Amino acid sequence: MASPLRKIGEFLKSPQGRKLTEQARRYAQDPRNRAKAQQMIDKLRGGKGSSGRH
């Protein structure tokens, strides 16, 4: 049985995996998308005091 990481690696080498990788790269280059991603990371980490707890 192939490990999950091996399956992911095989997928990323497939045409569909390369297409999705390229889409992710283009998405990540947009400054607005980067800001959205950073906000989500901060929210998940509970950063910047915006947790809403007292």
Question: Domain limits of the chain?
Answer: 4-46
| pLDDT at position 48 over 90 | no
Q: Which amino acid belongs to residue 25?
A: R
**What is the greatest pairwise CA distance in the chain?**
49
* Dihedral of the alpha carbons of 28, 33, 39, 40, in degrees to the nearest 10: -70
Q: Is the pLDDT of residue 54 over 50?
A: no
Residue 31 has pLDDT above 90, yes or no: yes
Q: What pLDDT, on the 0 to 100 scale, is given for residue 36?
A: 92
Q: Predicted confidence band at 4 (pLDDT cuts at 50, 70, 90)?
A: very high
Mean pLDDT of 4-25: 95
Report the percent of the chain where pLDDT is more than 90.
76
